[in-house]
Structures are given as C-alpha cells and as structure tokens.
Amino acid sequence: MPDETKSPSSPPPENEKPTADQPATPGGLKSTPSGSVQSETKTTPTKPSPPAETSTPSKADAPVAPAKPAAPAAKPAAPAAGERPAGHPAPPKPTGPVPTPWDSPMVAKFKQMYGSGITALTHLGQNYLEVDRSLIPEILQLLRDDEQFDYCVDLTAVHYPKREKQFDVVWVLYSFARNERIRVKTQVADGATVPSSVPIWATCNWLEREVYDMFGIKFDGHPDMKRILLPDGWKGFPLRKDYGILQQDSEWVQINLGIESGQ
C-alpha cells in the first residue's frame, strides 16, 4: 500500500522501475502486492501528460495483460494468497500459462473445512494445494486416510531467499486408487520446523533427512534427524541460494581428508 501512494507522486520514474525490475527479478520471488501495484500504475498513466512516457509502460504492460483475468479469479477464492510463490505475479516477457483455480469435490471439502488456509491451483495440467504451515500434519493425514493418497512420491524444498518465509516445502503425492498425482506446498520461515510426515508415509524418513541436509529445515518428530548425503560434521546447507557452487566446508575437508581443498 505505501507503494501505491508513492507511484502517482512521480509517475515517470516509478513507471519505469517496475518494468525494469520485471525481467530482472525472478517472478517467484515477488509476492502479490507488486502485482497489485502494477494494476494501480496501469490506471494512473492515463493522467500524466508526457505521451512518450505513457506509451512505454503500456507496451510493457501488454504481455502482462493475458495474466490478468486469472489473477482476480484466484484472489476471491483465497484471501490469504499473499504468499504465492511461483506463477502469477509479474510474469516475465515470454508469458506462459498461469495457474488457474482448481476445483474438485475434494478441494471443495477442504475449503469448507479450512477456508482461507488452503488454495487449490492447477498449472500446466498439474494440480497442487498451497496450504498454511499450521495445517500441515493434519491435511496430509486427511489426504492419505480419506482421499487415498497412499503413496508419497517425493518430498523436497525450494529456497526463495528474498521472501519473508524463505522456503517452500513440497510433497508430491499419488493415489493408486484414483490414479491421480497432486502436490502440496507450504511456506516455512528460516529456522522454523515442519512436523514430520514419517508417521503418515514411512518413505518420508530419508526424504526429510535429505531436505534437512540440503536446506537445513528441521522436521519435528522425525526419528533420526541427521544428515544423509553429506558427512555429519559438515557446516552449511548446499542447496540454499546463498551457498556458492564452489563453496565447501574447508575446515572439514582439511581435517578429515588431509588436503588443502577438494577443488
């Protein structure tokens, strides 16, 4: 909202800015507020006098336009969609398909139970649920027990360092009975824990250990929360974005391997 008050005060530079930012920052790192700013600035340019300035932002806005109808459609369905990770905020130049709301009896049931804590979307033909972190063990249990998602295909995480809640934890689930695959995503802040899903799917044991090993996300109630691929004494979590590709725990390497560097 503070952006909104700023933008009319100095229209030309402000209008330039979002368009310049747009290709530079990955869409996934932006949250919806920036998307709403875009729509705000789009209405204001009708007022400013310099015609050259107005033509450029409107041109730049053009590729964004196809994304528009989807965005408001998704919003009333989920008021808490503020932390949407990938997809619809400010798509870059090659505008692709955007996530659209996903409706099914299961989703309707969950919406009724949890209301705004859950957002159901479909993208590239794949369905996924964005759920609030507080619902996590409960909704996974329901998915397995009531909806027959008996096979947890994969569990992983994605790091978005610029976001307030830095991590996406993603479960890929499959149901043999329904022959259907879905994903469940939740956002987790750095240092926060996630309830372990080992009691729900035994396969999550190693998968959670790998997420801890690579991202440093701890899982509450995991039977053996320790590193799996890297050595136990290793410092740092390699799949975080701030961990360089050539970075290593040189202290560990020197002590345990007796060499100066592994490179």
Partner 1 sequence: MTDPNTESPLDLETPDKTFLDSNELVINMGPQHPATHGVLRVILRLDGEKVLGLECVIGYLHRGVEKIAENRTYTMFNPYVDRMDYVAAISNGLGYCEAVEKLLSVEAPPRAQYIRVILTELNRIASHQLWLGTHALDIGAITPLFYTFRDREEILKIFEKYCGARLTTHAFRIGGLQYEAYDGFESDVKNFVSFVKPKIDEYEELLTTNRIWLERTKGVGVISGKDCIALGVTGPVLRASGVKWDIRKALPYANYKNFDFEIPTGQNGDTYDRYIVRMIEMRQSLRIIEQAVGGIPEGPIMAKVPKVMKPPVGEIYHSIEAPKGELGYFIVSDGSTQPYRVRVRPPSFVNLQALDLMCRNQLVADVIAVIGTLDIVLGEVDR
Contact footprint for partner 1 (CB under 8 A): 23, 26-29, 86-87, 91-97, 99, 123-124, 126, 128, 150-154, 156, 158-159, 170, 172, 176, 179, 181, 183, 201-203, 205-207, 210, 214, 227-231, 238-239, 243, 245
Q: Choose between 114 and 234: whose C-beta lies nearer to partner 1.
A: 234
DSSP state of 187: E
Amino acid at 186: T
227, 209 in Cβ contact below 8 A? yes
Name the minimum Å distance from CB 36 to partner 1: 18
Nearer to partner 1, 47 or 93 (CB): 93
Tokens of 214: 């690579």
Q: How far apart are alpha carbons 120 and 84 in whole angstroms?
A: 11
Pull the structure tokens for residue 14: 């402000």
CB 8 within 8 A of CB 44: yes
Q: How far apart are the C-alpha atoms of 60 and 55, rounded to whole Å? A: 9
CB of residue 20 to partner 1, shortest distance in Å = 15
* The pair of three-digit structure tokens given for residue 164, joined into one six-digit string: 């307030």
Complex with partner 1: residue 45 or 99, whichever CB lies closer: 99
Which residue's CB is nearer to partner 1, number 45 or number 85? 85
Work out how close the CB of 227 gets to partner 1 at its nearest, in angstroms, rounded to a whole number.
8
Q: How far is the CB of 25 from partner 1 (least distance, A)?
A: 9
